Structure 1
Amino acid sequence: MEIPGARLLKQIARYLRQLTRAPAAAHDAPHRYGVAMNSLPIDTSFDFRAEPNCSVDPDRRSPTLQRYQKLLFSKALPSGVMFNLSEKTSGIDHVLVHESDLGTFELSSDTILNSSKGPLKSFYDELPADVNAAWHRSSIGARLLFPGNQVDGKWTINQARGMTKEIRDRFDLTLEAIRRHYLGESSPLTDVLARYKDFFALFENFDNYVDFFLLNDLVNENGSVRFYIPFGGFDKPALPATFQEYVVFRNAQLDFLAGRTQRIEAYQTENLK
């Protein structure tokens, strides 16, 4: 008799092992010295941790990640105005900056997948080591830009979503908070999102924000967020309560990653030849 959660465990193991294999045609060129090599400008299978000094925090230190995000998001805003991004450094951090009549926006990268291995260590440790190792591959599909400058010395969005107990670094819950921001509704991130209202105003509404950052695979056809696990409101615990729920939680993130990666591939094939 199969133990509860065993089937899901097999699914996630198989899915993660497939994820580690580069697609056959587009990514058969080797990676040497941490440099992504591909016939298209963005190699969606490239692990940014392979670059020098990037094994711990590629969001801050990877020049390849910086270049990929510049290619993806230097494009027209819904208004038609170009959102051109320039590569800059802030201390040791690689950031992207837009400067125009619209204002100055400094953007930094952050991961939008989270295993929650700290608070859910017992669940994390139940998964095979190779499955967990595969999870922590750092590819472009799992990265997103947020405003990186502090306002009045207060938390950035990245800091707030990691430290707010109702969010616990879950990107689906972060996206729900952003959706509510556009509707003028409250969430645990109301204050921090309001500090960056000029950034969100660039996209005019939630649908445009989702389209611009290629986040469509985490949104249902009716415009609602596709939560990793059933969402009962921000007053309910943010993290899975059982191992089986934890596996569902991780599988849902992998589905999002796979979908967004394909979307990035399609976008660059159409726009970045």
Structure 2
Amino acid sequence: MPSSTRESTASITSSIFEYRSVHGRTYQSSKTTEYWASNDEKHIESFDVAHQWMTMMLDDKLYAAPIGDNPQRILDIGTGTGIWAIDMADQFPSAEIDDAQLNWTFEPNSFDFIHVRFMHGAIDDWPRLYRQMYRCLKPGGWFRHMEPDIAARCGNPKVRVWKQWTQLFYAAGEKLGRTFRLNNIRMEKAARDAGFIDMTHRIFNIPYGHWTKDKELKQLGQYAGLYLDLSLDGFALFLIGEVLGWSFEEVEVLVAKMRAVVRNPNNWVNSDM
């Protein structure tokens, strides 16, 4: 191998493992991505739990689009732990499944299906992303985009910390130039402006915790509550601590309040997806 190639490869490899460390939690280096959530073992566990309840939400399916029995190329945007892509590869062994983390170099009309989820606060130009998806999908291809609404609800009117949490995320997103104000109206408009015409839009209400009496939703809610419980400090340390300038102690107090709210079944915490 030529020395220039070895040096280039070594440089790429070292940049991948350059993590930011914030009070014992690790985050991707700004050289590789601007994603705000932690990437350590605790957060990987939480995202695998999230995959479980999101699959349950779709009646134990990995997708809802009519992509047929033999899709050949699938693109997963923001692959995360890779669990969705792995499950799709098991279901469609002949399909090639790619991931898009940074710049797009894909040819037009390349993919049968594009999958996007949990990318709020990570994209600086959503209309551009939708245009890229439209360009790269084959004629008749499909995409699915799923995002949680940060503005979750609490059934206890005395609880105010959740509204504070939402406003802090909004403020951090604006400071980073990557909005968390992503809802069904903005997503649908971006898709139509990009050229998509045949769309189905669904809103799922997700309970966090075991407070609901519905048997199926209770199980889903237990997974969703566990996901949130595992994720809170990893979400807050970078966005609220590093971006907004809160002290570690202030972040700890806020996270403790949030966790107590989520764990209390009398608060009926829920959000839309």
Coarse TM-score class (shorter-chain normalised): under 0.3
The TM-score with structure 1 as length reference comes to: 0.25
Q: Which has the larger radius of gyration?
A: 2
